[in-house]
């Protein structure tokens, strides 16, 4: 048997988290091997960016081209039954984008390769052996030896499952059903392309996302929180709610469905084994939340940046075997993840859109705080609404107060 290929860091997975971590480490001169079970370009859902991702992409050297990406300027929440709606501005500090994930993910992994990372596609990790002196990874095609493993395998959660660290988060969205439309050229659709806003429609089983994309395309999905007895399932359920929405009917005049309706389940979980001796998880492999506030890519690239920066310093000093290497950064990750989790929980449990969002225009500071969280501003320490969310959880757990 041939000896294992050697490198400093193996990155399992080449989505936004894996590509970001690989690029930062390669920029610092480390030898990085990315192992990807699929092949780019590939389809993926989750097209809406948060503004506070921008500093990470700037550091990566990403250039946004108008022909490929649509500027995202705000988030609009709508209840078509009552006529209530509210819009939050999201481009006051940084300009976020709506992205086609197949193109976007391909761009990120190409960037990592340009910086020096080696990419192996159509190759699946089979076993991982972590010892005090290094990591051995065996795939269906080869074996590798490295000083460190970064798990960016998304919801496959390679190390989380290996270490039995996956815990489901209850009471959030149960599953999503979605598709894309092309040639959406209605007057309403053209107005949406100009605004670039993501639109969230409130429905009795959960919520519907509408995301405008370049090329007169729309991403539309239904996230189901509580199925109603007797309701159809799958594509039939999606069609039922699509047809019941006046906003969608207007948007989709003359549009063509681009692909079959797909479904994704097992939405929300946390990984209690995010890091340890010679490994760290980032992106969805560290935890995944209901997509109502579009936190997926944002948490992916920010967690990957922290992992890469900490690992670069440790590889330079030869201290990468320290099991507590990421402890300090993990505190920051936990604060961000927990803040967004509580935000989503309040959305479902306390009907936050009707009881708070639709009233936000009456309180400018509250609206600014909500917009900041929707932008991904989770670590400034200046957000009073975020503080209330966190303190409300602590008080609720002690039985003294809810918010």
Query: What phi, psi does 128 have (nearest 5°)?
Result: -130, 125
Q: What is the pLDDT of residue 195?
A: 96
Q: What is the mean pLDDT of residues 238-266?
A: 95
398 — pLDDT class (breaks 50, 70, 90): very low
Q: Where in the chain is the domain with CATH 3.30.9.100?
A: 70-97+173-265
User: Residue 393 has what pLDDT?
Assistant: 57
Greater pLDDT, 171 or 138: 138
Task: For residues 139 and 5, give the distance between their C-alpha atoms in angstroms, rounded to a whole number.
Answer: 12
pLDDT category at 127 given cuts 50, 70, 90 is very high
If DSSP codes are grouped into helix, strand and coil, which group holds residue 13?
A: coil
Structure confidence by residue, pLDDT tens digits, 78-105: 999 999 999 999 999 999 999 999 999 9
Say which CATH topology domain 70-97+173-265 has.
Answer: D-Amino Acid Oxidase; Chain A, domain 2 (3.30.9)
Give the model confidence (pLDDT) of 198-211 as tens digits: 999 999 999 999 99
Tally of CA atoms within 13 A in the half-sphere of 272 that contains its CB: 7
Q: What is the pLDDT of residue 67?
A: 84
Q: For 5-44+100-168+269-325, which CATH superfamily applies?
A: FAD/NAD(P)-binding domain (3.50.50.60)
Q: Where in the chain is the domain with CATH 3.50.50.60?
A: 5-44+100-168+269-325
Averaged pLDDT for residues 369-382: 97
Question: How far, in Å, CA of 155 to CA of 158, rounded?
Answer: 8
Q: What's the confidence (pLDDT) of residue 1?
A: 59
Report the pLDDT value the prediction gives residue 14, as an integer from 0 to 100.
98
Residue carrying the six token digits 């803040």: 339
Element holding 177 (H helix, E strand) = strand 175-182
397 pLDDT band, cuts 50/70/90, is very low
In the predicted model, what is the mean pLDDT of residues 363-390? Answer: 96
- Judged against a pLDDT cut of 90, whether residue 132 lies above it is answered with yes
Mean pLDDT of 368-391: 96
- pLDDT, one tens digit per residue, over 279-321 is 999 999 999 999 999 999 999 999 999 999 999 999 999 999 9
Per-residue 3-state assignment (H helix, E strand, C coil) for 44-97:
CCCCECCHHHHHHHHHHCCCCCCCCCEECCEEEEEECCCCEEEEEECCCCCCCE
Cα distances (Å, whole numbers) of residue 305 to 56, 60, 320: 7, 10, 16
User: Which residues, including other chains, have CB under 8 Å from residue 50's CB and lie 6 or more apart?
Assistant: 90, 96, 294, 295, 297, 298, 374, 375, 376
Per DSSP (E only), the strands in 251-396 are 256-257, 262-265, 269-271, 275-276, 279-281, 287-288
For 139-153, the pLDDT digits (tens) are 999 999 999 999 999
Average pLDDT, the chain: 94
Residue range 119-138: mean pLDDT, rounded: 98
């Amino acid at each position: 048997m041939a000896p294992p290929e050697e490198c400093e860091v193996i990155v399992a997975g080449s989505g936004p988290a894996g590509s970001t971590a690989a690029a930062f480490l390669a920029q610092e001169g480390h030898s990085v091997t990315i192992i990807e079970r699929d092949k780019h370009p590939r389809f993926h859902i989750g097209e809406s960016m948060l503004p506070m991702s921008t500093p990470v992409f700037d550091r990566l050297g990403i250039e946004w081209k108008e022909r490929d990406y649509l500027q995202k300027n705000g988030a609009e929440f709508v209840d078509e039954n009552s006529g209530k709606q509210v819009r939050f501005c999201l481009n006051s500090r940084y300009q976020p984008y709506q992205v086609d994930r197949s193109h976007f993910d391909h761009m990120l992994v190409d960037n990592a390769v340009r910086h020096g990372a080696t990419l192996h596609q159509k190759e699946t990790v089979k076993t991982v052996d972590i010892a005090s002196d290094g990591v051995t990874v065996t795939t269906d095609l080869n074996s590798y030896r490295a000083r460190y493993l970064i798990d960016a395998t998304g919801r496959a959660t390679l190390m989380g499952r290996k270490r039995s660290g996956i815990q489901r988060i209850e009471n959030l969205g149960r599953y999503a059903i979605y598709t894309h439309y092309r040639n959406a050229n209605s007057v309403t659709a053209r107005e949406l392309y100009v605004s670039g806003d993501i639109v969230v429609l409130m429905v009795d089983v959960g919520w519907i996302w509408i995301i405008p994309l370049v090329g007169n395309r729309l991403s539309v999905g239904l996230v189901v929180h509580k199925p109603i007895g007797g309701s159809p399932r799958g594509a039939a359920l999606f069609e039922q709610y699509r047809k019941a929405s006046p906003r969608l009917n207007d948007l989709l005049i003359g549009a063509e469905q681009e692909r079959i309706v797909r479904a994704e389940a097992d939405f929300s979980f946390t990984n209690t084994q995010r890091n340890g001796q010679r490994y760290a998880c980032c992106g969805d492999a560290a935890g995944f939340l209901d997509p109502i506030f579009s936190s997926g890519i944002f948490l992916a690239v920010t967690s990957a940046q922290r992992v890469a920066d900490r690992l670069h310093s440790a590889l330079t000093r030869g201290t990468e075997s320290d099991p507590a290497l990421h402890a300090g950064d993990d505190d920051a990750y936990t604060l961000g993840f927990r803040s967004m989790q509580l935000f989503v929980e309040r959305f479902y449990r306390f009907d936050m859109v009707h009881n708070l969002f639709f009233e936000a225009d009456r309180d400018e500071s509250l609206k600014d705080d909500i917009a900041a969280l929707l932008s991904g501003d989770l670590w400034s320490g200046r957000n009073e609404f975020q503080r209330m969310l966190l303190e409300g959880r602590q008080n609720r757990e002690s039985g003294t107060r809810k918010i």
